[in-house]
Chain A
Amino acid sequence: MTRLILRELRLSVAGGAAALPLVFFLLVATLFPFAVGPDGPLLARTGGGALWMAALLAALLPVDRLVEPDRAAGVLDQLALRSIGEETVACAKLAGHWLSFGPPLMLAALPGAALLKLPPETLIRLEIGLLIGTPGLAALTLGVAALTAGLRRGGALAGLLALPLAVPLLIFGAGYLERGNESGALQLLGAVSLLLVAGAPFAAGAAIRAGRD
């Protein structure tokens, strides 16, 4: 299991793919003020939500290299021959995917927040929300990546499948930014994220198995 997670991390770092979501995230943070205008209060109010959107899209960026290359190269078959369950493989991929984009994204949120003039308390809420929400985003990406592995133009389809399912994470994540935890947004964010993290390995495992036939 540790070896599989390390392999996932090595693949994402070696391919330079780990930097891509980060650059994308910061690019969105840079472009957003150009789109809505350099109005400080407006940016401070809407910037957090924009960063959540950017985080969601950044999590989806590597969707086509999470499962499909391993399926095409026969890595998944070789793992199955060694009696390593598809669910175990999916857990390792989930952990590897989160480690390669979750913590870096939380770091990138610091300059991102500065670009959007977010007040300090919003930044703290954003970081807490990202810490709880990014595992859910990673799980969602993995599940969709496994479902679309082997399909032509699976990447575009994966986006269409994943974005609607990410709506709860976005609602509760952005809701926590705006109103704090008076409405229990943080708990709901945690619940959704937990559900996705718990369910994704089984969905992805079943999808990998089904993809063999």
Chain B
Amino acid sequence: MTLLALEGVACVRGGRLLFEGLDLVLGPGEAALATGPNGAGKSSLLRLAGGLLRPAAGTVRQEQAALADEHLALDERQPLGAALGFWAALDGKGPDLAAMGLEALALVPVRMLSTGQRKRAALARVVASGAALWLLDEPANGLDGDGQARLEAAIAAHRASGGAVLAASHQALALPGAKMVTLG
């Protein structure tokens, strides 16, 4: 069973070819780390993998995916717990604030959160989603040591339970045995 299969994928953004001929297959428990300079197409690769962008060439097949990128997609006025609860309800689950250490912030409005806390919230939504494929765009950005440890633990647990992870990161991220995707 494959959770993500990219075959000969090319990506064109704004008339510019970012990459082509990209092959990547992720099965249960596998992980891949996309690296490359700014503008190399890492975020576009994640959006392609999630089915949000259509490839200029090649095919993309994926299981239900959860994405954490720079867009928080939480209602700024709502308390964090309720804002995450909206998505958890759509996923048919309860929100998981504990995985990223956000229990104390459940009643704090989203607009009051710091950069790192916002990142934790986006990751908490991915953890709670129950999706088999995680797409993480710069997941360690803005996280402190505790946040990064929680992130790595969540990824490890997800892979151990048969999930797959595709991450794009500039920062060191513990992904044992990850396939490397070098762009640009």
- Interface, chain A (partner B; CB < 8 A): 3, 7, 11, 14-15, 72-75, 77-84, 212-213
Does more than half of chain B's interface fall in helix, strand or loop, or is it mixed? Answer: loop
A77 touching B90 by the CB < 8 A rule?
no
A82 touches B90 (CB 8 A): yes
Question: What is the CB-to-nearest-CB distance from A127 to chain B, in angstroms, rounded to a whole number?
Answer: 33
Cβ–Cβ < 8 Å partners of B65 in chain A = 81
Cβ-defined contact, B71 with A74, below 8 A: yes
In contact, B71 and A81 (Cβ under 8 angstroms): no
Give bound CA distance, A156 to B177, whole Å: 53
Chain B residue contacts of A7, Cβ below 8 A: 75, 86
Instruction: Give the number of residue pairs across the A-B interface with Cβ within 8 Å.
Output: 50
**Identity of the chain A residue whose Cβ is nearest the Cβ of B62 in the assembled complex:** A81
Query: Nearest-CB distance from A84 to chain B (Å)?
Result: 7
Is the C-beta of B77 less than 8 angstroms from some C-beta in chain A?
A: yes
Query: Do B66 and A81 touch across chains, with their CB atoms under 8 A apart?
Result: yes
User: A73–B86 contact, CB under 8 A?
Assistant: no
Would B52 and A3 count as touching, CB distance under 8 A?
no
* A213 close to B53 (CB less than 8 A): yes
* Contact A213–B54 (Cβ < 8 Å): yes
C-alpha spacing A7/B85, complex, angstroms: 12
Query: In whole angstroms, how far apart are the Cα atoms of A81 and B125 in the complex?
Result: 12
A75 touches B73 (CB 8 A): yes
A-B contact pairs, 11 of them (CB 8 A): A3-B86, A72-B71, A73-B72, A73-B74, A74-B69, A77-B71, A78-B67, A80-B51, A81-B64, A82-B64, A212-B47
